[in-house]
Amino acid sequence: MTQTAAADTRFRYEDLGALIALMTGAEKHGPAATSTLDALWVLYDRILRVGPGTAEDPGRDRFLLSKGHGPMAYYAVLAAKGFFPVDWLSGFGAYDSPLGHHPDRTLIPGVEIGSGSLGHGLPLAVGSALGLRAQGLADADVWVLIGDAELDEGSNHEALAYAGSAGLERLHTIVIDNDSATHGWRGGIASRFEAAGWSAVTVDGRDHAALHAAYTAPHPGRPLAVVARVEKKR
């Protein structure tokens, strides 16, 4: 499988603000959405081997949004890449809309997991990477995006500890770091992953070139963590 989301060129990064503006439902997590926008765009535009026509292909790359509260940026990117019609966006949050305040994998094309509760995405990504390895799907990458506050959850500690020891090199975690973690400290996220056997890099979460370089950094035999620093005020 070689098709990528980048094959859809109808929308550019500059269009995402207008797409997000179409979602006028009572959303209480606007900053949570905008903090992920750049990381998601670079991932879907330049990295992931999946598109609307290959969303069910067994050999596709998987993206799991663990930071599922405030999914407006995620929905905007999926619409921009053709996974569902743009006119769905204006119904965001409505009773009869597939676009809820938390993503639902049974309702939205391209969504791999239902999410929103903290601490579940990374364990699910570890299980996905293990399952793909067991099936011999050696070229399928698994990506998961989590918030820094999710690292307060014990489930994530166990998942990152296991993934490093298991050498899950097809597993990639993007951590949106806006100093929201209760038990974290500045610069501490990357060291936490490294101590568990991961390759880790910290970048400006708004810098597309830096994000792309981090996403494509070699990490043989190890899972990769990309810590994307995003200031809360943005």
Name the DSSP letter for residue 201. Answer: E
Count CA atoms closer than 13 A to 41's CA, side-chain side.
25
What gap in Å lies between CA 147 and CA 94, rounded to an integer?
A: 26
Helix axes 37-46, 208-215, angle to 10 degrees: 60
The structure's pTM equals 0.92
Name the DSSP letter for residue 89. Answer: G
Which of helix, strand or coil describes residue 105?
Answer: coil
192-204 pLDDT, tens digit per residue, is: 999 999 999 999 9
pLDDT tens, per residue, the chain with 234 residues = 334 444 455 799 999 999 999 998 776 677 777 899 999 999 999 999 999 999 999 999 999 999 988 899 999 999 999 999 999 999 999 999 999 999 999 999 999 999 877 789 999 999 999 999 999 999 999 999 999 989 888 899 999 999 999 999 999 999 999 887 766 666 789 999 999 999 999 999 999 999 999 999 999 999 999 999 998 643
Q: Where are the alpha helices (DSSP H) in the chain?
A: 16-21, 30-34, 37-46, 72-80, 121-134, 154-166, 188-195, 208-215
pLDDT score recorded for residue 135: 96
Whether the CB-CB separation of 166 and 132 falls below 8 Å is answered with: no
- From residue 166, alpha-carbon distances to 51, 127, 209, 214 in Å are 29, 11, 30, 22
How many CB atoms within 10 Å of residue 168?
Answer: 24
90-136 pLDDT, tens digit per residue, is: 999 999 999 999 999 999 999 999 987 778 999 999 999 999 999 99
Contacts 24+ apart (CB under 8 A), 92-98: 92/22, 92/23, 92/24, 92/25, 92/27, 93/23, 93/25, 93/26, 93/27, 94/25, 97/25
How many CB atoms within 10 Å of residue 76?
Answer: 27
Per DSSP, the residues of 32-78 read HHHTTHHHHHHHHHHT----GGGTT-TTS-EEEES--SS-HHHHHHH
The sign one gets for the Cα dihedral 43, 46, 49, 50 is positive
